[in-house]
């Protein structure tokens, strides 16, 4: 079986020393790739470095230059539009790749069938990504990062390009994750790979960037609705293997729509779900064990802690239970499962400027 072809898109704006180090590491540790460098209105020092670097590459390199900074998302779209390989990897120039990095990402994509895969990162410029459970090397996630992300070309053809009206990372990617999910493509974190990442200088004021982020958030919510956080209390008498089988697919569907689920579990059920690998299903699904000592008190303490970060937490009581312990307002597990069973067919949103 032939190895898949790979293009690597590097969006550049100034930072010549970091950019050169990034490009050298890519060619050193992945010599068979084609390099697509998109210079988005960099200063003359960076432009000259890129010209000198690209000249000897021949057909292995493509250098694209714009006269002004078009923004990160537009710059990435420009590079992706020129990629015709089986996979394309976006690598920002503050990343230094290492031996085996590309093979690890490709293997993760093949094992999971995911359409997008990001590694984890270290260093001062590392983006905040969910940390995996111990021993978990591949984890489905609704959060990936432009810092480094591998993408299937077949997915990009059907899902289109990134929405340039959204911000350059969080909400743009959350929107794209929802769009590719509607076409059946998952997104994963390759937790067995951690790339060093330095800080990049950004264009524009903090106030302007914050305004853009808030506007992007509002646009995302208008398209997809607000994500919810559910706290599910499960007790063994009310939960059997049939219920767990039904929950598995339905909670995954909900997590892929951006919702979060914290399962509040007695010790034995917590141990069973760990054995079944539920702590590695999705970054939107977490397991929380209830103490054997004063279990109801501990349960309500955990609920209070969850509400610190999720004030609108929706509590879910076991099927057949009349009320949540402590009399807390709640919905039943049956209601929750029915809600996400109905939403299995995800709506598809396509921006007007999609390239598909």
For residues 317 and 323, the answer to whether their CB atoms sit within 8 Å is: yes
One domain for residues 11 and 126: yes
Q: Residue 344 has what pLDDT?
A: 55
| 14 is a domain residue | yes
pLDDT at 154: 97
Which positions ≥6 away from 174 have C-beta within 8 Å? 142, 143, 220, 258
* Residues 6 or more apart whose Cβ sits within 8 Å of residue 70: 40, 41, 78
CB-CB contact of 130 with 71 (8 Å): no
Question: What pLDDT shows up at residue 353?
Answer: 40
One domain, residues 196 and 253:
no
Q: Do 219 and 246 lie in a common domain?
A: no
Determine the pLDDT at residue 126. Answer: 95
Tokens of 335: 């209601």
Q: Mark which of 185, 200, 223 sits at the end of a domain.
A: 223
Residue 309 falls within a domain, yes or no?
yes
- Are 186 and 287 in the same domain? no
Buried b (16+ CB within 10 A) or exposed e, 68-105: ebbbbbbbbbbbbeebeebbbbbbbbbbbbeeebbebb
Q: Read off the tokens for 323.
A: 């009320």
356 residues of the chain, pLDDT tens digit each? 578 999 999 999 999 999 999 999 999 999 999 999 999 999 999 999 999 998 899 889 999 999 888 899 999 999 999 999 999 999 999 999 999 999 999 999 999 999 999 999 999 999 999 888 888 889 999 999 999 999 999 999 999 999 999 977 889 999 999 999 999 999 999 999 999 999 987 766 778 888 889 999 999 999 999 999 999 999 877 777 888 888 998 999 999 999 999 999 999 999 999 999 999 999 999 999 999 889 999 999 999 999 999 999 999 998 888 889 988 899 999 999 888 876 654 455 555 443 32
d(CA 323, CA 340): 21
Same domain, 181 and 213: yes
CB 232 within 8 A of CB 263: yes
Residue from 281, 271, 226, 255 nearest 336 by CA: 255
Total structural domains in the chain?
Answer: 2
- In this structure, the answer to whether residues 279 and 195 fall within a common structural domain is no
The b/e string for 125-138 (b: 16+ C-beta within 10 A; e otherwise) is bbbebbebbeeeeb
On whether residue 352 sits in a domain, the answer given is no
For the domain that residue 85 is a member of, what is the CATH number?
3.90.550.10
pLDDT of residue 342: 66
pLDDT at 7: 98
Q: Are strands 187-196 and 148-152 parallel, antiparallel or unpaired?
A: unpaired
> Of the residues 181, 202, 223, which one is the last residue of a structural domain?
223
Q: Is residue 49 in a domain? A: yes
The 3-state DSSP class for residue 83 equals coil
CATH, residue 238: 3.40.50
pTM, 2 dp: 0.90
* Tokens 């995302």 found at: 220
Same domain, 209 and 254: no
Same domain, 246 and 212: no
**Residue 195 and residue 46 in one domain:** yes
In a domain, 111, yes or no: yes
In a shared domain, residues 238 and 313? yes
Q: What pLDDT shows up at residue 261?
A: 97
Domain boundary among 223, 245, 269: 223
In contact, 319 and 243? CB cutoff 8 Å: yes
Give the DSSP H or E segment for 155: helix 153-159
* 69 shares its domain with 192: yes
Residue located via tokens 């299995």: 344
Quick: pLDDT tens for 230-253: 999 998 777 778 888 889 989 999
Which range of residues forms the domain containing residue 55? 6-223
Residues 6+ apart with CB under 8 A from 303: 231, 264, 313, 315, 328
Cβ within 8 Å of residue 132, ≥6 positions away: 139, 189, 191, 280
Q: Is residue 97 part of a domain?
A: yes
pLDDT given at position 70: 87
Looking at the domain assignment, is residue 354 inside a domain? no
Does 78 share its domain with 198? yes
C-alpha closest to that of 318 among 260, 266, 280:
266
Q: Is residue 319 part of a domain?
A: yes
């Amino acid at each position: 079986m032939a190895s898949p072809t790979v293009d690597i898109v590097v969006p550049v704006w100034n930072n010549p020393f970091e950019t050169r180090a990034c490009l050298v590491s890519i060619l050193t540790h992945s010599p068979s790739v084609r390099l697509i460098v998109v210079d988005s209105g960099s200063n003359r020092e960076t432009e000259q470095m890129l010209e000198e670097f690209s000249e000897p590459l021949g057909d292995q390199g493509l250098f694209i230059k714009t006269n002004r900074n078009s923004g990160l998302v537009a710059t990435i779209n420009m590079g992706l539009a020129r990629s015709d390989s089986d996979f394309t990897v976006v690598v920002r120039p503050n990343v230094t790749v290492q031996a085996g990095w590309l093979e690890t990402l490709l293997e993760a994509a093949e094992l999971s069938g995911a359409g997008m895969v990001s590694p984890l990162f270290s260093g001062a410029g590392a983006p905040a990504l969910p940390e995996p459970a111990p021993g978990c090397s591949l984890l489905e996630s609704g959060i990936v990062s432009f810092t480094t992300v591998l993408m299937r070309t077949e997915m990009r053809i059907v899902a289109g390009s990134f929405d340039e009206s959204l911000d350059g990372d969080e909400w743009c990617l959350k929107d794209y994750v929802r769009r590719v999910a509607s076409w059946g493509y998952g997104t994963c974190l390759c937790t067995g790979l951690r790339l060093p990442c330095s800080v990049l200088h950004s264009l524009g004021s903090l106030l302007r960037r914050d305004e853009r982020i808030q506007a992007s958030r509002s646009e995302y919510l208008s398209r997809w609705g607000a994500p919810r956080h559910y706290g599910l209390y499960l007790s063994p008498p009310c939960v059997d293997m049939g219920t767990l089988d039904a929950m598995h697919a339905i909670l995954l569907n909900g997590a892929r729509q951006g919702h979060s689920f914290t399962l509040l579990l007695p010790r034995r059920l917590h141990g069973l779900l760990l054995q079944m690998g539920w702590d590695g299903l999705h970054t939107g699904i977490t397991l929380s064990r209830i103490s054997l000592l004063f279990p109801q008190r501990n349960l309500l303490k955990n609920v209070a802690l969850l509400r610190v970060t999720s004030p609108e937490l929706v509590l879910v009581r076991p099927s057949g239970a009349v009320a949540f312990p402590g009399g807390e307002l709640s919905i039943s597990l049956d209601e929750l499962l029915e809600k996400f069973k109905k939403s299995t067919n995800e709506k598809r949103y396509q921006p007007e400027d999609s390239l598909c």
